[in-house]
Structure 1
Amino acid sequence: MNKKIVGIIGGIVVIAAGIALYTSANNKSSDSNTNTSSSSSSKVTGKVLSLGSTALQPLAEQVASSFQDKNPGVTVTVQGGGSGAGLSQVSDGSAQIGNSDVFAEEKEGVDASKLVDHKVAVVGIAPVVNSDVQISSLTKTQLRDIFTGKITNWKDVGGKDEKIVVINRATGSGTRAVFEKNILDGQNAVQATEQDSNGTVQKIVKTTPGAISYLAFAYLDSDGIKALNLSGVHPNKANVEDNSWPIWAYEHMYTKGTPTGATKAFLKYFTTKEVQKTIVPKLGYIGLTDMKVTRDSSGKVSDK
């Protein structure tokens, strides 16, 4: 009788052990599947606010759209406002990325030591006039004299008898800073109508007879305006690459400290061949690797 009981108990133990092993194996399999699924579906998510330079805005918007198509879990919002706004808002944490046409070191009130510079492209800037202006080229001296108020009529530079209407960018504009650094040689600009963006300047120059201003290359392809040569040198990609055209700048995307997550992924995408060799030139910018020279924050240009 005792042997039977022992046998029954032994059988129960064996069955229980088998069930335990089966359950354990299933649990391990389930855990493994869960981990694999989690790993395979791991994608970049988050929100990125990138604002500032309106010269960089068309490129940033296009790259953001392409990046979001590839990363539907990320929302990238691109806004203008000017380089000054971009640098100040990334500095105070209001934005993840501050877009600027100038080095942070050049902006008063910005602690550049707390910002990380991510150069993403080069932008050319050209003087533009209303299409009724009958000249095609100015010297640097003539251009400077117009923007400092010494020349006020187009007839004084070979055009028709027509008042020159200067349209300037606002003080915080990086585009203005680049233009004045390369053209005005430290002289003060004449008091004139000021606008906050490349887009607004483009519209006003188109509709104002005798108007002159300056625009990033991305805004030049428009009826009603024309870009001027500088001492016969045409504002184009090739001339920017070797500094024959001197009015250009790096497009900077600054972060406060080292970027992480969606911000890091977005900036990394900017440096890919797809962006640098396709989107950048298509919109009128110059890829970083195409430049034959470099320029530092003091304005010193060196061969690569």
Structure 2
Amino acid sequence: MNFTRFVGKLSLLILVATVAAIAAPKERITIKGSDTMVILVQRWTEKYPNKQNLEFQVTGGGSGTGIAALINGTTDICSSSRPMKKAEIEQLKEKTGYQGLEVRVARDGLSVYVHGSNKVKQLTIEQVGKIFTGKITNWKEVGGKDARIILYSRENNSGTYEFFKEHVLNKQDFASSAQHMAGTAALINAVGKDPNAIGYGGAAYARNVKALAIAETPSSAFVKPTEKSILSGEYPISRFLYFYLSKRPEGTMKKFIDWVISPSGQKIASEVGYYPIKK
């Protein structure tokens, strides 16, 4: 073989290999659900080191929307800020023959927010519940100024909404005056602009608002949502954040989830403003 023919064949091989690499179809992992978790999940997918021939599609819509998509088979992973309900697990099993897999991926403290100028610094869970159910309507009733309390809540397809309703409102309905916001970022923005407002959301979203110290009972200590108090369980409105899958992951999916709960993935959760599942 002369030199010219050798170079020609070598160039052809390189070209074929390059075209094959470009043409290789990318595997896609879809993740849908919690608006609270969107920033965190996006950061995980951006920082995931093994992304060759892999792409992610991350969308919010609320935990309930993500769970419905998992049941209907239109997402690979559901991100949820609340546990799946028994009825939802039964629906998933009926559709897929498998009751699904729950993976705890981070911890969060559900903060109660007010405007930075509000003189109120602390509330009991009972007071918070009475405010959001409309039984307390003026700030002066909880040590603040004489002004009507403006309520901001999440939409009812939100896992944060459901968690707050169950654990703070004791499953009572929100006051009809509550304004329901599409996402935590929108809620925080509204509270940050209104001196008489109150809202709730994940601790990671605390920007330009004040998070109140919360007491579980009138005789309990008031605790602010900090890393220490959330990880220890001392802060009374703490929760896990979840990934749900319709079945046990394999291959690329398993590698991604293993990385999310590894020290590297958990470090990113801390950087975003959430807390690791283990400390």
Matches within 5 A, 1:140-155: 140-155=125-140
Select the residue among 262, 268, 272 that pairs with 1:283. 272
Distance, in Å, in 1 between the alignment partners of 2:25 and 2:127 is: 52
Find 1:58's aligned residue among 31, 39, 48: 39
- Cα separation, partners in 2 of 1:143 and 1:107, compared to 1, 3 Å: farther
Asked if structure 2 preserves the Cα contact closer than 8 Å seen for 1:134 and 1:159, the reply is yes
Residues 1:196 and 2:182 are matched in the alignment: yes
Aligned positions, number: 246
Please say if 1:72 is aligned against 2:58.
Answer: no
Gaps of 5+ in 2: 1-16, 94-98, 216-221
Find the residue that maps to 1:161 and give its secondary structure: coil
Equivalent of residue 233 in structure 1, options 199, 223, 239? 223
1:121 is aligned to 2:102: no
Match of 2:235 in 1: 245
Given that 1:105 and 1:112 are in contact with CA atoms closer than 8 Å, whether structure 2 keeps it comes out as no
State the TM-score, normalizing by the size of structure 2.
Answer: 0.82
Name the SS for the 1:199 alignment partner. Answer: helix
Counterpart in the other structure of 2:197:
211
Task: Measure how far apart 1:91 and its partner are.
Answer: 1.2
Contact 1:178 1:247 in 2 (8 A): no
User: Which residue is 1:34 aligned to?
Assistant: none
Match of 1:262 among 227, 252, 261: 252
Contact 1:80-1:197 at 8 Å conserved across structures: no
Change (3 A) 1:211 1:110: farther
User: Does residue 158 of structure 2 align to residue 168 of structure 1?
Assistant: no
| Deviation string, structure 1 residues 192-230 (Cα, Å, up to 9, x no partner) | 11112111111111122311110101101x12x110111
TM-score by length of 1: 0.76
1:72-151 → structure 2 map (5 Å cutoff): 72-105=52-85, 111=91, 113=93, 114-151=99-136
Distance 2:25 2:102 in 1: 22
Stretch moving more, 236-245 or 76-85:
236-245
- Identify unmatched segments of 5+ residues in structure 1: 1-36, 291-304
Change (3 A) 1:267 1:109: closer
Distance, in Å, in 1 between the alignment partners of 2:134 and 2:232 is 31
- Give the aligned partner of residue 272 of structure 1: 262
Superposed CA RMSD: 2.1
Q: Identify if the C-alpha distance between structure 1 residues 123 and 44 changes in structure 2 by more than 3 Å, giving closer, same or farther.
A: farther
1:161 is matched by which residue type in structure 2?
A: D
